[in-house]
Amino acid sequence: MQGEVSPQADKLLQDGEVVILNGELKFEVLHTPGHTPGSICLLIDGYVLTGDTLLAGYLGRTDLEESSPGDLKNSVENKLLPLDENLIILPGHGPASTIEREKRGHRPS
């Protein structure tokens, strides 16, 4: 919905913070700006939820006014691709992937 403003966040999550849900699910927060300035990815039990930061086969979306292609590239190359190659990527759109597959497809320029 173009032009809609998101509500103010109750709490901003910090890079490296661990969020526990229902006393048992532990998510580690990775600050990955680019799609938006406050974009995060979440690590949990062999998975990384990347939202619109990293999609299978290509960098995520930078079509929003506050998006930054340079920040997105930096987040992917320096925060996500160095992660364990066996991690399964669950993006916000499209099929799942792995860090290993994405490393083969994304080369620093």
**Residue 9, in any domain of the structure:** no
Residue 11 domain flag: no
pLDDT average, residue stretch 58-85: 89
- Residue 86 within any structural domain of the chain: yes
CB atoms within 10 A of CB 96: 12
Structure-block tokens of residue 56: 């299978």
- The one-character DSSP state at 7 is P
pTM listed for this prediction: 0.85
| Average pLDDT of the residues in 12-38 | 93
**CB distance 50 to 92 below 8 Å:** yes
Q: In sequence order, what are the beta bridge partners of 58?
A: 55
pLDDT above 50: residue 109: no
Q: Is the pLDDT of residue 2 over 80?
A: no
69 belongs to a structural domain: yes
Residue 3 belongs to some domain of the structure? no
Once rounded to an integer, what is the mean pLDDT over residues 68-90?
Answer: 94
Residue 82 has pLDDT above 80, yes or no: yes
Identify the CA nearest to 38 among candidates 27, 52, 24, 25: 52
The average pLDDT across 16-35 equals 94
Give the domain extent around 80. 18-105
Task: Give Cβ neighbours of residue 59 (< 8 Å, ≥ 6 apart).
Answer: 69, 72, 73, 76, 106
Q: Indicate whether 8 belongs to any domain.
A: no
Query: Does any domain span residue 27?
Result: yes
Number of domains in the chain: 1
| CATH number of residue 59's parent domain | 3.60.15.10
Does the residue 98 lie in any domain? Answer: yes
**Mean pLDDT for the chain overall:** 89
